[in-house]
Structure 1
Amino acid sequence: MVYVSEHQRKVRGGQSAHLTFEEKQELVSEEKEEEEKSVSLQDIEAQFLTPKTKNFVETDAVKEYEKRVEVWLKAGYPVHVIGPTGCGKTALALRVAEKLKRPSMWINGDEAITTNDLVGGYSKIEMMSVRDKYIHNVYKDKDVIEPMWVSNPLTLSCKHGYTLIYNEFSRAKPEANNILLGILEEGVLELPTKFGEERYVKVNPGFNLILTSNNIDYAGVHKPQDALLDRLACIHMDYYDRDTEIKIVMAHSNVSQSEAEVIVNLIRGLRKKLQGAEKPGTRPAIMIAQAMGNGYKKELFEQICIDAIASKFEDPIKVSQKADLIRNQLKTVKIA
């Protein structure tokens, strides 16, 4: 801490050598105002970085999953929602986070994510210049360079008691997620690149963690370490029932109920004939419905279905085989 005298000593020319008490009070007030602005901007940034649920449908099946997640969070356990792609895991996590009535933050896991992406790091350098004009004919110049720490979602959530949604958790490499062990076991977040007391952050009691992952048989999925899984409540999701899927499709498009029924019947019929990651989720059903509502013509329906379902397979032979399967399945459903 730099000592600043209170006296009114002046240098030649009548310029004060030190700040008056009133000037220092004003300076402290300005710094506090800047800090409050920073926190406000941070809250706004967090609000816009976390996606919001749109046209969320609540049926008994959906509420049952919500209740299970909420029970574990209230008991103080993080929740790991596991299920096939497109079954509604992310929407469920966002919905529960909204119901907690607390700020929430968002991370998308992938192969390249690191511990620093979760906790933060030194991302910029602040340079401060000090000019000493105490004696008129002596000029003292000093530059102070300090690295600036920038916190990422995990650190902010632990520190302030936010809800953290870690989407596609199992797509990140296990070593990147080791940082979570200390949080779940000891209630302490360790910042690897910091030193001294600043290295450790006590986890706020309001902190909640919701993770979502695809089943292990999906490409690009890493099996999390057992030590971490032992500290999570794992909820395995499956595709919703037929009535729920119809309501979801209608909520996200402007198709009629009869049209939504045709789409859902097609998707559910294909699931019975396909295995593992090849099974289509509710998401392609929504895509088909939205395309139908945008200048839909019956003669294009077959191609729309093929584009939404079969085109994710890069191998042309597999795409052709999947297209034939879709055509055959369409013969079993009545097109509205």
Structure 2
Amino acid sequence: MTLESLRPDVGLNDEDLVVPEASESFVSTPYVEEVTNRALVYLRAGYPVHLAGPSGTGKTTMAFHLAALWGRPVTLIHGNDEFSVSDLIGTNDAGYRRSKVVDNYIHSVVRTEEEMRQMWVDNRLTTACRNGDTLIYDEFNRSRPEANNVLLSVMSEGILNLPGLRTAGEGYLDVGGDFRAIFTSNPEEYAGTHKTQDALADRMITIRLNPPDRDTEIEIVKAKAGIDELEAGHIVDIIRELRGSGENKTRPTLRAGIAIGKILGMVDGRARFGDRFFHGVCYDVVSTESAKVLHDGQSIFHQLVDSVIKQVCPPVGAQPGDEGTRAQVQAKVKAVNASFATKLNTFRS
């Protein structure tokens, strides 16, 4: 099965259509390809795809990648707590259309007719349904469930209810056959999110994205930050070890690794233990609430970061190959994390 075989059969001849293109910087690994292929099969079968997972797992990037591979024009919506149904489908309160006819066929007789009608203006969901676009609804669970209820008939019956047009006999819109929807969402415990109604979740196929494997993270940091694989590996290992700390509640994501890599790349820096600039960058990028807890006037979270850097990265001036084996590094860092958790619990109690 190839990606070409999973794309829609229709052609696009309208030069004015905005069709996304796959980014050259997109990193494809076996993990990414597996998710991509499954999602394209679901789209081909006509099902909406829902990419769910914690922040920093690449949900939005994957959504745009899928849309680019699908090859249809894209309509983008970002979830918003203040959305109402009209913000999705449109409204007839946007203005008025006034027409006037003056009949002066006989100069002594003037007949004037005027008509004023409310204007209906489509919003993005309606536009996507009319045109058969690919809808990307990013972080859709930030919108209230009652606003998203309009999606139920779209996803099951292929009909969009337009109550504002009922007086004109156009209260329903048949959804274009090429219409597809890709949703992304953050976990419900995140601030500003709402619980997804069961009826909506039942109409989509959910792919849960977790932080990718180490090799994928390294490839992404390497590509996005423009640094070599060795340095990207050091940075990714630091982030993954800190992410695994049970007390590090705001766990650093892949974005943190990319940020550290980009910053180092700008100054031609290296991930080295004892490099004060590198240590400071790591403190700033992955800082959490735990950083406020002090011991002898020093942040014990900073001590954890220092310890992880020491175990993962070679010291300043070290030659390549001085890092030790991966297994040795993991064993040392595991002990560091356990010590950090003990200290943090002690000072919190």
Q: Tell me the TM-score normalized by structure 2.
A: 0.76
Q: CA deviation at 1:64?
A: 0.5
Contact 2:21 2:69 in 1 (8 A): no
* Structure 1 position 299 matched with structure 2 position 270: no
Distance 1:275 1:215, change over 3 A: farther
Answer with 249-258 or 57-66: which moved more. 249-258
Distance 1:159 1:330, change over 3 A: same
Residue equivalent to 2:250:
278
Q: CA deviation at 1:108?
A: 0.6
Distance 1:200 1:302, change over 3 A: same
Residue equivalent to 2:319:
none
1:295-323 CA-partner distances (Å, limit 9, x unpaired): 25543222222222226x5x973795644
Residue equivalent to 1:106:
76
SS in 2 for 1:80: strand
1:4-55 CA-partner distances (Å, limit 9, x unpaired): xxxxxxxxxxxxxxxxxxxxxxxxxxxxxxxxxxx976x45xx5xx797461
Contact 1:280 1:309 in 2 (8 A): yes
Contact 1:78 1:233 in 2 (8 A): yes
Distance of 2:84 and 2:301 partners within structure 1: 37
Q: CA deviation at 1:87?
A: 0.6
Residue equivalent to 1:207:
179
Task: Name the aligned partner's letter for residue 310 of structure 2.
Answer: K
Q: For 1:317, which of 292, 304, 314 is the aligned residue? A: 292
Unmatched tracts of structure 2, length 5 or more:
1-13, 270-274, 317-349
Identity rate of aligned residues, in percent? 38
Count matched residues.
291
Aligned-residue CA RMSD (Å): 2.6
Task: Name the aligned partner's letter for residue 81 of structure 1.
Answer: L
Residue equivalent to 1:217:
189
Q: CA deviation at 1:276?
A: 8.8
Answer with 130-139 or 243-252: which moved more. 130-139
Residue equivalent to 2:307:
328
Q: Tell me the TM-score normalized by structure 1.
A: 0.79
Task: Name the aligned partner's letter for residue 98 of structure 2.
Answer: M
1:83-117 CA-partner distances (Å, limit 9, x unpaired): 11011111111111111111111111021222112
Contact 2:137 2:183 in 1 (8 A): yes
Report 1 or 2 for greater relative contact order, CA contacts < 8 Å, sequence distance ≥ 6.
1
Unmatched tracts of structure 1, length 5 or more:
1-38
Distance of 2:313 and 2:129 partners within structure 1: 52
Aligned structure 1 segments of 4 or more residues deviating by more than 6 angstroms: none
Distance of 2:201 and 2:287 partners within structure 1: 34
Q: For 1:158, which of 108, 112, 129 is the aligned residue? A: 129
Q: For 2:141, which of 144, 163, 170 is the aligned residue? A: 170
